[in-house]
């Protein structure tokens, strides 16, 4: 496994404990991907398995996206069991965008009635907001990255196969600060949901979008108009994709 130099030591230790051989690359995430690609190309019989796609490397990332999409099938089943008939908003954390691609593929499926399609919000670190920048520029672009507690999302380039889905299917995008991610992590823990900062980023993005200054405008733009009645509610879905980065769990 190839990891960038910013990978926390506890992450490296946990992966090593599973028997993996690890190469720490003196570069950011994009650099680690390119190092893995170069080494895979240099030796016969090696297969590169990761979810950033580019021209000529698309099949394996598409399989990974297919796997991610089963998460949303499971969410549907859990919501149905809880007698929740509709979701207003789904907030998905973004690294290269493969998980968000799966969300778009699921919730924008032609088999899903338009009225049942929730709004989709992408959330990523403000130090690595490649999807937000790409959406703003209306073109797939790379951005420089910097250190963040959301190290699992510290990616500078969207996946090439994710980009068309994100461009067509994401309703809004937001960049999350480390402070917001830490607060979301602490509040999830208090509610009994153990999460690391990358796992809590979707929740942090949801709160940043729906609360605080100008929240009314953002809610309007997202089509979130709860009534003033006491029984009004907004049904939102967030995914936790990382456990706590401590040895206490």
* 8 plus 77 within the same structural domain: no
Task: Please tell me the pTM assigned to this model.
Answer: 0.91
In a domain, 72, yes or no: yes
Both tokens assigned to 241: 């994709």
* 79 plus 177 within the same structural domain: yes
In a domain, 201, yes or no: yes
* 115 plus 176 within the same structural domain: yes
In a domain, 57, yes or no: no
* Residues of the domain holding 29: 1-47
DSSP alpha helices (H): ranges in 150-214?
Answer: 162-169, 178-190, 197-210
DSSP 3-state of 4: strand
| pLDDT above 50: residue 230 | no
Tell me if 161 sits within 8 A of 55, measured CB to CB.
no
Percent of the chain's residues with pLDDT above 70: 94
DSSP 3-state of 37: helix
Q: How many domains does the chain have?
A: 2
**Cα separation of the two ends of the chain:** 24
Instruction: Please name the residues in contact with 179: beta carbons below 8 A apart, sequence gap of 6 or more.
Output: none
* 17 plus 89 within the same structural domain: no
* 36 plus 82 within the same structural domain: no
Chain-wide mean pLDDT for the chain?
Answer: 91
* 152 plus 207 within the same structural domain: yes
* 100 plus 170 within the same structural domain: yes
Percent of the chain's residues with pLDDT above 90: 78
115 pLDDT band (50/70/90 cuts)? low
CATH of the domain at 86: 3.40.50.1100
Q: Output the pLDDT for position 228.
A: 46
Q: Output the pLDDT for position 249.
A: 47
pLDDT of 143-170, one tens digit each? 999 999 999 999 999 999 999 999 999 9
């Amino acid at each position: 496994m190839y990891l960038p130099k910013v990978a926390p030591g506890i992450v490296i230790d946990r992966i090593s404990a599973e028997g993996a051989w690890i190469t720490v690359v003196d570069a950011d995430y994009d650099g680690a991907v390119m190092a893995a690609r170069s080494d895979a190309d240099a030796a016969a019989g090696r297969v590169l398995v990761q979810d950033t796609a580019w021209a000529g490397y698309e099949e394996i990332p598409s399989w990974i996206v297919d796997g991610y999409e089963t998460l949303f099938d499971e969410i549907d089943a859990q919501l149905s069991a809880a007698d929740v008939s509709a979701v207003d908003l789904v907030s998905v954390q973004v690294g290269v965008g493969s998980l968000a691609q799966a969300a778009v593929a699921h919730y924008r499926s032609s088999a899903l009635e338009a009225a049942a399609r929730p709004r989709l919000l992408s959330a990523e670190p403000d130090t690595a907001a490649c999807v937000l920048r790409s959406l703003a520029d209306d073109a797939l672009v790379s951005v420089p990255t910097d250190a963040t507690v959301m190290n699992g999302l510290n990616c500078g380039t969207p996946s090439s196969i994710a980009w068309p889905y994100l461009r067509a299917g994401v309703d809004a995008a937001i960049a999350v600060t480390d402070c917001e991610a830490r607060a979301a992590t602490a509040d999830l823990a208090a509610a009994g949901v153990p999460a690391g900062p990358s796992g809590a980023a979707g929740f942090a993005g949801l709160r940043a979008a729906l609360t605080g200054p100008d929240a009314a405008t953002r809610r309007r733009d997202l089509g979130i108009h709860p009534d003033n009645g006491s029984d009004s509610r907004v049904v939102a879905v967030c995914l936790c994709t990382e456990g706590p980065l401590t040895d206490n769990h």
